[in-house]
Amino acid sequence: MKYYSYYPGCSAEATAVGLGLSVQAIAKPLDMELIELEGWTCCGSTPYGALDELESIVVAARNLALAEKTGLDLVTPCSSCCVTLNRAYIQLQDHPKLMAQVNEALAVVNLGYHGNLRVRHLVDVLVDDITPEVIASKVQQGLNGLKVAPYYGCQLVRPRYGTDDTEFPHSLDRLVECLGAEAVPYPLKARCCGGALIISEENLALGLIRKLLDSAVENGAQCIVTPCPLCQTNLDAYQSRVNRKFKTNYNLPVLFISQLIGLALRLAPISLGLNTNIVSPSRVLDHIYKVRQEVKSGA
Amino acid sequence: MKSFVDEVAATPGGEHIRACIQCGICTGSCPAASEMEYPPRKIIAMIRAGMRDEVLSSSSMWFCLSCHLCGCRCPRGVKPTDLAHALESLANQQGFRIKGTRTPAMYRSFVSSIKGNGRVHEFGMMLKFYLLANPLSAVKMLPVGLKLFMHKRLPLMPKKVEAKEDLSKITQKFKEVRGSQ
């Protein structure tokens, strides 16, 4: 069993509840103990820094200080949280005066931060610590023949806080393939979906989402998988907006990588929050049941 | 008085601005460059030319999607994404009113949700943004909101986060510390 502090991020409790549920569900079967960081608050994400750069660092640092006390690596499944927390970590390392100011502020609630912490993305933990080989050995329900477009989004691989390549990453491909599924070539795998600007600049973001859907379909994908809560929401919940705007008819399920892993571990779809996916994942489930029937009748 | 380039370089995120060689790989890589009056390469040149008001009143950096492609390709380590957010922060702190994008209003709704709840309450954040900044598009966005709600992805009430009191004590103290130095 490997132990980690766990930082779900705000969206894992709401717009990306499928991520929160599925990560919790796969942890134990993969021998991970994810201990939720007690008293965590929002990391601040991009908006806080955009309005008040310095204050955003103290907002993130509160979580870093809490996590540092546990002595464990802090793991988050949210790409934006991972970038924001790592960024605060580096800013505090680079600016000793800011570090002193931040500690003066943290002291009012008896916290302190010393810079001894690793903040890691769940995908990096799955690939580097748990390893695809071990995950493969735990697969109960191979996803053979399922064609998957692995969508990394931006902040899993950029700026480079993890270990993967920033433009042609492969970690997610390895996770998809260790489940027996096929990772289709996906040239836009690490290109932007528009992020939070889907709310304020919808036209810009819808154009980017369309390209991502188009490239996945063109390469024969039956579904997209991503680890990022914002990417999943943009590609899934806004797919109908893309269809409306561009007169297209995409109907492509978008799953969290943790949901796909859960299916291969033969966990119940509802425990993985698959009922919260907006484009119905029934095509993926049908494929899995078909494989299961074939295995049964072959045996 | 500090020059504008010094002011930017002293803001976290703006440290590397002097290293830029104006090669333009940032602008060439940016998925939002077509929306910007001053794309990254140009805005860096403007900062170094001391064009303070033009830069800080511009909407350009507010189109940054934080995809970090520019920073990963920059041969000089400039990190234009971090620079964009440093400029946004300077503009916001100095009271510049930004025209031509709704992103500042969205960010304000987001941050006020953090300050009020300790965590972002997405429904409250979106409601505030759409109603205050853009009531017409609220109607347009209703179907997406409804889908999210029907799929249990948009809780109407924020979760109670006790630590929010601690968070506001910390930010309050930080304001004092900053102000006194």
Task: Provide ipTM, 2 decimals.
Answer: 0.96
Taking only the tens place, the pLDDT of each residue in A68-81 is: 999 999 999 999 99
Among A71, A97, A122, the domain-final residue is A122
- Rounded CA gap, A17 and A8, in Å? 10
Inter-chain touch A51–B13, beta carbons under 8 Å: no
Contacts of A204 in chain B (CB under 8 A): 32, 35, 63
Taking only the tens place, the pLDDT of each residue in B128-177 is: 998 887 788 788 888 999 999 999 999 999 999 999 999 999 999 999 99
Best of B83, B114, B164, B175 to disrupt the A interface by mutation (most A CBs within 10 Å)?
B114
On whether residue A127 sits in a domain, the answer given is no
Among A122, A155, A180, the domain-final residue is A122
Best CA proximity match to A94, nearest among B115, B57, B92, B10: B10
On whether residue A132 sits in a domain, the answer given is no
For residue A274 the two structure tokens come to 């698959």
Taking only the tens place, the pLDDT of each residue in A174-232 is: 999 999 999 999 999 999 999 999 999 999 999 999 999 999 999 999 999 999 999 99
Q: Based on the domain organization, do A113 and A259 belong to the same domain?
A: no
Inter-chain touch A10–B122, beta carbons under 8 Å: yes
- Residue A20: what pLDDT? 98
On whether residue A130 sits in a domain, the answer given is no
Q: Based on the domain organization, do A107 and A244 belong to the same domain?
A: no
Number of domains chain A is built from: 2
On whether residue A128 sits in a domain, the answer given is no
Q: Based on the domain organization, do A201 and A62 belong to the same domain?
A: no
- Rounded CA gap, A32 and A18, in Å? 19
Residue with token string 């489930």: A285
Q: Based on the domain organization, do A284 and A193 belong to the same domain?
A: yes
CATH number for position A95: 1.20.1050.140
Contacts of A241 in chain B (CB under 8 A): 144
On whether residue A255 sits in a domain, the answer given is yes
Q: Based on the domain organization, do A166 and A262 belong to the same domain?
A: yes
- Residue A299: what pLDDT? 57
- Residue A292: what pLDDT? 86
Q: What b-and-e string marks burial along B137-174, b requiring 16 or more CB atoms within 10 Å of the CB?
A: ebeebeebbebbeebebbbeebeebebbebbeebbebb
Best CA proximity match to A223, nearest among A270, A274, A266: A274
Tell me the residue ranges of DSSP E strands in chain A: 2-6, 32-36, 74-76, 119-121, 147-150, 182-183, 223-226, 254-256
For B4-93, CATH gives: 1.10.1060.10
Our CA-based measurement puts residue A197 at a distance from the nearest CA of chain B, in whole angstroms, of 7
CATH number for position A261: 3.40.50.11810
Our CA-based measurement puts residue B49 at a distance from the nearest CA of chain A, in whole angstroms, of 23
CB B71 within 8 A of CB B80: yes
Domain residue ranges of chain B, discontinuous segments joined by +: 4-93, 104-180
Q: Based on the domain organization, do A151 and A252 belong to the same domain?
A: yes
Inter-chain touch A101–B71, beta carbons under 8 Å: no
- More confident call, B136 vs A64: A64
Among A52, A87, A122, the domain-final residue is A122
Q: Residue A173 is part of which domain span?
A: 139-298
Contacts of B126 in chain A (CB under 8 A): 199
